[in-house]
Structure formats: C-alpha cells, structure tokens
Amino acid sequence: MTEKTFEPRIIGFLCNWCTYTAADTAGVSRMEQPANVDVIRVMCTGRIEPSFILKAFAEGADGVIVSGCHPPGDCHYTNGNFKTFRRMPLLQALLAQFGIEKDRFHWGWISGAEAPRWAQLARDFTEKVRSIGPLNWSRQLANKED
Amino acid sequence: MMDAGRHPNITLLTNSEVIGVSGYVGNYNVKVKKNPRYVREDLCVGCLQCIEGCVFKKPRFPDEFNLGLNLRKPIYLPFPQATPQVPLIDPHNCLQLKTGKCKRMCAEKCDRKAIDFEQKEEIQELKVGAIVVATGFKTVDPARIPYYGYGKYPNVYTALEVERLVSATGPTGGEVILRDGRKPESVGIIHCVGSRDERTNRWCSRVCCLYSLKLAHLLKDHTGAQVYNFYIDMRTPGKGYEEFYNKLLEEGVFFIRGRVAEVTDWASEPEEEGKLILRVEDTMIGQVRRIPVDMVVLSVGLEAQPDAAAVSTLFGISRSPDGFFAEAHPKLRPVETNTEGVFLAGCAQGPRDVPDTVAHAGAAASMAIALLNKGEVTISPTTARVDEKLCSACKTCLSVCPYTAITFDAAANVARVNDALCRGCGTCVATCPAGAIQGWHFTTEQINAQIEALLRETKKEAREGVPA
C-alpha cells in the first residue's frame, strides 16, 4: 500500500488592502504557488483575533499565516497593523506553550505591490511546514471527544 | 490668493492654524487658532507707513520670504503680493512686544489707529462639511548632504535662493550676484539633491529637472555665465517641457550626466583658485572630471512637511511610507483620503508641478462641493455595530479606533459606533473583550465558518483515522 504523502493545510489571514491584493495579483499573474494555502480575507489585520489562529490549528491546520500592510505608514486604516504587531508576538509565545512549533505560525507584511513576495512566502512556508510534519491537533481533539 | 481673498464665498484665515478637528463627513467641527498680527485687518489700508516709522531705521532681521538673503524690520509685509495687504509684527523682535519699552513710532505713524499691541490669539470654531488638506511640502535641507558644502561655502545656493535672486521683486531686484557682490561667470546646477538617493529620499521629486532648466535659462540670460547641469536622468514629461529642454541644449547650456561626488574649494590647478570645484564622473565619456565654477545651485527635492505626522493625526488621515499624505487609491482616487470628507490637494499628497497642482486642487474643490451638494453620503455597509446588551462599558474600543468613530454614551453606559465615521477595519471587533462588537460582513461567526469549511476534510480524515 502506498503511503499517502503529507500535504500541509495552511490558512492565511490576509488584509484586504495589502497582502490579499498581493495574493490576488500573484494568482492573476500566474505565479507558481502551492495549493496548500487557503486564504481568508479580512479588511485589516487589526481585525484578526488570536482565537482565529487557535481555531484554525484546532480545526486541523498545520500552519497559519497572518499578513498585512507594512508598518508604519502602509496601513489603509492608519494603524491597524500596529495592533497586529503587538498581538502576534504574544500569540506566538502562547502557541509555543501549547506545544505548537514556532515555525507553524508566520506573521508579517507584504504590500499590494509585492505579489512575487507572497508567492515566495507561500512556497517557502509550505515547505517549512511540510518538513515539520503534521500537527495532528484535530486528531488529538477527535480522540478526546471519543 | 488675491482672488480667493476677494471672493464673497471664501473666508480666508491667514496667520492661523487648525488645532482641533472633531465630527465626521458633513459635520466637522474645526477649531482654528488665529495668531495675533498686532495690526487690525479691519482698519489697516495697507499704506505701509508703519514700516517706515519703525524705530529700527534699518532692517535688521532675516527676511523669511527671501530665505534670509536680505533683512526686514520687526513690522513687515511678508511678501509683496501678501493677502491681505496688511503688515504684521514679529513678536520675537519687536521692542514693544519684547520689552514693552519702545517709542511706538509705527502706531504714531498709523493714521487709522490700526496697530494694536494688545491683540491676543483667538480661537474660532467652524462648522464645515468637508476639508481639503493642502499643506504643501518642504524642500530637502541641503545640510543633510554635507559633501555639497551648503553652509560651508557661501556661494553654494539652494535653487529656491537662486529663484529669489533672479526675481525682479527679490532682494537684489533680479540681479544675480554672489554673496561677495561678484557676478558669476560660471554656474553649476546639481540635480537630484535629496532625491533618488538611498541616503536621503528615494523618490523622484518630479519638479527639479524642470525648475533647474528654468534657472539655467534665467541665469544664462541674466549673467551670460556658462551654465553646467549635472543630472542623473533628464526627466521632462509634460506639455512643452521636452521642447524647453531642447531649446536649452541649443542655447548652449552644458549638460553633464553624472551624480556630483563633492563640491570643494581645494584647487589643484591655478585656474581653479578661488572657485568651487565640482568633482563628477561624466558617465557619457566615462571619465572623472573637475569643473570649476563661481556658483553652485543645489536643486533640492521635495519632501513632506515636518509636522505632517501631527497633521495626519489631527485630520485622521494616513501617510504613505514616504511621509506624504496617503490618497485613497493611487490611481483611481488620488484626491480623496480614507477619511470621508477629507480631501488632498497639491504637494501635501506627493511632489507635483504647478499645472498638476492646479488640476489636483480643482478636483479636490469639486469633490468637496459635490459631496456637500448631494446632502447625503453613501457609506459602505461594512461597519462595526455594538450589541448594547453585551457591552460592559470598558471603553477599550474607544482607544483603538483610528477614526474616533466610537463614542461612549454615559447615560446608557454603552459604546456606540458612528456609521458615518466607521470604515469597517474591525480593529474594535477584535479588541472587544466582551465580544459585544460585530464587524458586519466579517463577523466572528462568518470567519469561524470559513475556517471550519476550509478544514472540513482534514477534520474528517482525523476522525476517520485516515493517516495524514
């Protein structure tokens, strides 16, 4: 029986104005990027509650990306990215305490003009998560429920 | 300016600054501080006898308008076409205002009793529907580029200083003379000073090529000097501009392609004695050259005003990474900001030349008038709403809102979102510890549902025990 190869599932929370635009452009320009990253659009990274990332891991994601506009001046909403800047490092520290490897969670900035950078991130991050292996949180949770 | 001052529908508040803005589109309250001028605008007729009368018989203080190239008195008209044509008193240098001990000759000379040393600053509150921010730009301080010797060698000028020198109303009456009174026989104009440079500003300031060409033309015309232009690229887009460049080539202005390395007075040949030497790689011939000149003009670039950060906070508008105010969309909405009812005009948004500024300002005025005439605004449905039953009145949301769209209703003990101000970023939604705020179209349920839907298969596999 052939072993099923591990395909990481990655959720990306992208802000509408910068990284989502970059991802859109990357797609329209047919830049090579893996199908492992699924994107959820929010208006601003400031909208992203840490619970979304935890929920994504709990539902079975192997990696999560949060990306928005470059600080300081790029944010469409003046300073939403600053909130992300404060929240995400705290969350990353918390994730480590939950036993989630640091590399499973990426947060950063990609502007609307940086489509190649998004494609690169999608490729690199997928490979990184692939090398770490499955998180199996959903399986553990499923076992607990049984 | 004169026309604006005379227009019956335009109130011009000069010598004033905005100190507070509250409200939202259609209902802005603007607090304006009018600084004292010490001359009553309602009485003064602009005869300027007061300036003549001033106890300082000779002008002693640097004239700001002429960039310190000449002197003025403590009571002065800022520049010949100033609107209104009313002089003002500089409180830092006026004897009466500084020490209270002066013969007050200016007041004595004034037939209309317009001089008022008791004037205080006035705070005015204006109710306006729309705001146009047209705070302009600042030229790059050439002291940031020490190797061009500005401030070290007296005959290194900024383009704006030369602009005053060639002006018929300028400090020399249009005569181009160096600081020692000599007429320059050769002039070097250095382009891109503080533009297109990783060490200062990275952007092209857009106007410098053309104003350098204009100055080259005028300097050649006024003095007959040999004029050298040192440029990286000649950027002359616009109607008639390339033709002007070609005209200058025919006039015999020299163009050397290369960024000047330094300006020095260190002569290595006898003919360089007493001159400023520009060291430059002429990239057209691939050689390093030394060009001795009498006068160096630095074509300084444009950058955002030093107080742009404070102004952006005041009006709730954002700035692009270069420091200029950010437009709502770089191509499709170049006049609007992300704050409804606040528009941008001119170089406050980015470097542009006069015709472009006029067009931009016209667009800003039209947009403001169109907005006001309509009487109502269409807003995006993506806004935040507070569930008043859940709100615990912690006021955390108030501090995170970049648009001050959330107010606290003390009577009802709940936070309320103003739909007209809210842009729907959702920061408050993520912040609310009670989960009382929902961002429409991006509710927590909706986002959670998206996460679940995307990972449904993975979860199913986990439940069925299929090896991942």
Q: Which two tokens stand for residue B422?
A: 């809210």
Closest among A106, A98, A130 to A34, alpha carbons compared: A130
The pLDDT, as a whole number, for residue A1 is 44
Does residue B411 have a pLDDT over 70? yes
What mean pLDDT comes out for the span B399-411?
89
Q: Which chain A residue's Cα is nearest to B316?
A: A78
CB contact under 8 A, B427 and A47: yes
Mutant choice from A4, A13, A49 vs B, greatest count of B C-beta within 10 A: A49
Q: What's the gap in Å between the CA of A97 and the closest CA on chain B?
A: 22
Instruction: Point out the residue among A3, A38, A43 whose CB comes nearest to the CB of B426.
Output: A43
Put simply, the chain B residues between 302 and 361 with a CB less than 8 A from any chain A CB are 312, 316-323, 326, 338
The pLDDT, as a whole number, for residue B124 is 94
Q: Is the CB of residue B421 less than 8 Å away from at least one CB of chain A?
A: no
The pLDDT, as a whole number, for residue B465 is 64
Instruction: Point out the residue among B402, B447, B462 whose CB comes nearest to the CB of A78.
Output: B402
**Chain A to chain B Cβ contacts (< 8 Å):** 115
- Give one DSSP letter per residue of B283-345, joined into a string: TTTTEEEEEEESEEEEEE-EEE-TTHHHHHHHHT--B-TTSSBPPSBTTTBSSB-SSTTEEE-
Q: What's the gap in Å between the CA of A31 and the closest CA on chain B?
A: 22
Domain residues of chain B, as ranges?
Answer: 36-120, 138-303, 384-453
Q: Which chain A residue's Cα is nearest to B383?
A: A43
Q: What's the gap in Å between the CA of A5 and the closest CA on chain B?
A: 8
pLDDT (tens digit per residue) in B91-111: 999 999 999 899 999 999 999
Length of chain B: 468
Stronger pLDDT, B437 or B338, i.e. the higher one = B437
Does residue B271 have a pLDDT over 60? yes
Q: Is the CB of residue A29 less than 8 Å away from at least one CB of chain B?
A: no
Distances (CA, A) of A39 to A24, B59, B98, B462: 10, 68, 66, 22
The pLDDT, as a whole number, for residue A71 is 85
CB contact under 8 A, B431 and A83: yes
CATH code for the domain defined by B384-453: 3.30.70.20
Q: Is A11 a domain residue?
A: no
Q: Is the CB of residue B427 less than 8 Å away from at least one CB of chain A?
A: yes
Q: Is the CB of residue B451 less than 8 Å away from at least one CB of chain A?
A: yes
Does residue B54 have a pLDDT over 80? yes
What mean pLDDT comes out for the span B279-305?
96
Residue with tokens 């995400």, as numbered in its chain: A88
Q: Kindly list the residues from chain B whose CB atom is less than 8 angstroms away from the CB atom of residue A80.
A: 402, 425, 427
Mutant choice from B324, B440, B446, B454 vs A, greatest count of A C-beta within 10 A: B454
Q: Is the CB of residue B261 less than 8 Å away from at least one CB of chain A?
A: no
Orientation angle between helical segments B241-251 and B208-223, nearest 10 degrees:
30
What are phi and psi for residue B53, nearest 5 degrees? Answer: -75, -20
Instruction: Give the separation between CA B460 and CA B468, rounded to whole angstroms.
Output: 11
**Percent of chain B residues topping a pLDDT of 90:** 79
Instruction: Point out the residue among A3, A6, A83 whose CB comes nearest to the CB of B400.
Output: A83
- Residues contacting B468, CB < 8 A, separation 6+: A4, A6, A134, A136, A139, B458, B461, B462
pLDDT (tens digit per residue) in B166-189: 999 899 989 999 999 999 999 999
CB contact under 8 A, A43 and B382: yes
Q: Which chain A residue's Cα is nearest to B429?
A: A47
Closest among B439, B416, B415, B417 to B429, alpha carbons compared: B439
The pLDDT, as a whole number, for residue A56 is 92
Q: Is the CB of residue B459 less than 8 Å away from at least one CB of chain A?
A: yes
Q: Is the CB of residue A79 less than 8 Å away from at least one CB of chain B?
A: yes
Closest among B132, B72, B118 to B362, alpha carbons compared: B132
Mean pLDDT, chain B, integer: 92
CB contact under 8 A, A49 and B467: no
Q: Kindly list the residues from chain B whose CB atom is less than 8 angstroms away from the CB atom of residue A52.
A: 447-448, 451
**Yes or no: is domain B138-303 CATH 3.50.50.60?**
yes
Closest among B3, B18, B36, B6 to B128, alpha carbons compared: B18
Q: What's the gap in Å between the CA of A6 and the closest CA on chain B?
A: 6
Instruction: Point out the residue among A46, A52, A80 whose CB comes nearest to the CB of B447.
Output: A52
CB contact under 8 A, A46 and B426: yes
Specify whether the CB–CB gap between B431 and B415 falls below 8 A: no
Q: How distant is the alpha carbon of residue A88 from its chain centre?
A: 11
pLDDT (tens digit per residue) in B208-245: 999 999 999 999 999 999 999 999 999 999 999 999 99
For the domain made up of B36-120, the CATH class stated in words is: alpha beta
Q: Is A72 a domain residue?
A: yes
Specify whether the CB–CB gap between A44 and A77 falls below 8 A: yes
Q: Is the CB of residue A85 less than 8 Å away from at least one CB of chain B?
A: no
- ipTM, 2 dp: 0.88
Q: B44 falls in which pLDDT band (50, 70, 90)?
A: very high
- Residue A67 is part of which domain span? 31-145
HSE, side-chain direction, 13 A CA sphere, residue A86: 11
Can you give B161-187 as a three-state secondary structure string?
A: HHHHHHCCCCCCCCCCCCCCCCCCCEE
Stronger pLDDT, B225 or B458, i.e. the higher one = B225
Q: Is A99 a domain residue?
A: yes
pLDDT (tens digit per residue) in B318-347: 888 889 999 988 899 999 998 889 999 999
Is the pTM for the entire model greater than 0.95? no
Q: Is A80 a domain residue?
A: yes
Q: What's the gap in Å between the CA of B303 and the closest CA on chain A?
A: 15
Specify whether the CB–CB gap between B430 and A46 falls below 8 A: yes
CB contact under 8 A, A49 and B430: yes
User: Domain count of chain A?
Assistant: 1
Collapsing DSSP to helix, strand or coil, B414 comes out as strand
Cα B144-B148-B151 angle, rounded to 5 deg? 70
Does residue B468 have a pLDDT over 60? no
- What is the end-to-end Cα distance of chain A in Å, rounded? 28
Q: B22 falls in which pLDDT band (50, 70, 90)?
A: confident
**Percent of chain B residues topping a pLDDT of 70:** 99
Q: Is the CB of residue A131 less than 8 Å away from at least one CB of chain B?
A: no
CB contact under 8 A, A76 and B425: yes
Q: Is A108 a domain residue?
A: yes
What are phi and psi for residue A39, nearest 5 degrees? Answer: -105, 135
Q: Is the CB of residue A136 less than 8 Å away from at least one CB of chain B?
A: yes
Q: What's the gap in Å between the CA of A30 and the closest CA on chain B?
A: 22
The rounded average pLDDT for each run of 10 residues, N- to C-terminus, in chain A (146 residues) is 74 93 91 93 92 91 93 81 89 89 92 91 94 79 64
Q: Is the CB of residue B188 less than 8 Å away from at least one CB of chain A?
A: no
What are phi and psi for residue A37, nearest 5 degrees? Answer: -90, 120
